[in-house]
Copies of this chain bind each other. A is one copy, B any other.
Amino acid sequence: MTHKDNGVTALDLPMVDPLPERTQKFFDICQDKLGLVPNVLKSYAFDIDKLNAFSAFYNDLMLGDSGLTKLEREMIAVAVSSINRCFYCLTAHGAAVRELSGDPKLGEHLVMNWRTAPVTAPQRAMLEFAAKMTTESHAIGEEDRQALRDHGFTDRDIWDIANVAGFYNMSNRVASATDMRPNDEYHASFR
């Protein structure tokens, strides 16, 4: 369980050195705005094409235009990561929920048991859909999509819920498979 050159996973895949100028600028902005460069980005930086593809995909999904608020997308991230028990994602996105909601207790609650957390009825339906996608996606049927529509979600919203939930089912597994470790700074933030 030693962590190698890039400092963030159990794999010996050091970052390109020096980083290309554009990547360095991107990392500098992260440092400026967030106070850290998320370790997940460092983990992909052994191959700049992969880093760029991942970042573009992530940014469109989590920061792009959507009927879901950024907090709601982070709530899905935490609920899915909780089912998959992903240390990296629970740490990073738990902090994001604490920050965006201004409610540290909500962040903790979603990490520990999303089912009993105090969220709105549509948000609960959204998390139930994401949870079913996580544990038995093959059993999803039209009645599950309709339940979301009945709570006011549009088909575009359903697409976004499905894609955010899908994304963390990917990145939870990549993080666990490579023993990716979150930046220490997340732990004490927004408590």
Contact = CB atoms under 8 A, between A and B. Distances in A.
A163 B173 CA distance: 8
A134 to B, nearest CB: 7
Contacts of A179: 116, 140, 142, 145
A188 interface: yes
Interface residues of chain A: helix, strand, loop or mixed (majority): helix
Interface in A141-175: 141-142, 144-145, 155-156, 158-159, 161-163, 165-167, 169-174
Interface of A: 1, 4, 10-13, 46, 49-50, 52-54, 56-57, 60-61, 64, 82, 84-87, 90-91, 104-105, 108-109, 111-113, 115-116, 118, 129, 133-134, 137-142, 144-145, 155-156, 158-159, 161-163, 165-167, 169-174, 176-179, 184, 187-188, 191
A80 to B, nearest CB: 10
Contacts of A91: 108, 112
A172 B137 contact: yes
Nearest to A174: B166
Contacts of A109: 87
A112 B141 contact: no
A183 to B, nearest CB: 11
Nearest to A52: B56
A188 B191 contact: yes
